[in-house]
Amino acid sequence: MHAEFLTRFQHALGGSELPPGVTACDPAETPRRFAVYRNNVVVSLSEALARRFPVIRQLVGEDFFRALARAFIDRDPPRSPVLAEWGAAFPDFLARFPPLAGWSYMADVARIEFARGLAYHAADMPPLDAADPASADPEQLILRLHPSVMVMRLGHPAVAIWARHQPQARSLPLPSGPQTALILRDMSHAVPVEAIGPGDAALVEGMLAGRRLGAAAQAALRVQPDHDPQPRLVSLMRAGVIVGIKEVAP
């Protein structure tokens, strides 16, 4: 009975009729009072969505974003009281939203923004101690990366679009074609987004998959014959996102 009431109450927030048992001190006031509550919920959720997707809000403008948020809330309301978990479906919603049909890059920008939220809230793990013993054969090492580290292959220059809408961003020409994003949370709890090349993407994806460093480096060379893994490994170490090391037999 309680679960059924909650379901009907949630439907009522979306505009359906009020469930039995919902009333005010003056029953005649119930529809008006519930409408105020419904509006407050929509406003609160719209503000939460705007905080999660600030660049999308900048790109479409305040008025359009409010209408966009309302449409998304009606279609995919939160299913958990933890709002940080809400919004995963927003990028695909943007991709299918008819008024944005001419701006297909919006979905990729939203994917970056949602991924940054996931990275920011990822579990804490201490970085690898630089004094940990190194292998005589580094190719046999498996380096474990922090759970915030993600590689996102995007169909548009979405990293550059996202970067142009950050504080103090410089207005640079947009590159053409797709970009691949590296997202992580560094030791200062910042969540940078970097466009990386095919070699770095293959290297990091191999490490995320738990492959030996040598195998990951070979995968990078297959897609970028001149790839040097050292600069990327150094940057990952400096960011504090290499959190474990294991040596396996050849």
Share of the chain above pLDDT 70, in %: 80
DSSP letter for each residue of 189-248? S---EEEE-HHHHHHHHHHHTT--HHHHHHHHHHH-TT--SHHHHHHHHHHT-EEEEEE-
**pLDDT beneath 50, residues of the chain:** 1-2, 4-6, 8-9, 12, 29-30, 37
Please report the pLDDT score of residue 13 as a whole number.
52
Please report the pLDDT score of residue 142 as a whole number.
93
Please report the pLDDT score of residue 6 as a whole number.
46
CATH class for the domain made up of 138-247:
alpha beta
- Taking phi first (over 0 means left), then psi (-120 to 50 degrees means alpha), and beta for anything else, what does residue 87 get? left
For tokens 């046999």, the residue is 140
Please report the pLDDT score of residue 12 as a whole number.
45
Please report the pLDDT score of residue 44 as a whole number.
81
Instruction: CATH 3.90.930 in the chain: give the residue spans.
Output: 138-247
| Contact of 237 with 134, CB cutoff 8 Å | no
144 strand-pairing partners: 244
Global pTM?
0.84
Please report the pLDDT score of residue 246 as a whole number.
86
Chain segment 2-49, per-residue pLDDT in tens: 454 445 445 545 555 555 555 555 555 445 555 554 556 677 888 999
Chain segment 170-186, per-residue pLDDT in tens: 777 888 899 999 999 99
Identity (one letter) of the amino acid at 244?
A: G
182 strand-pairing partners: 151, 194
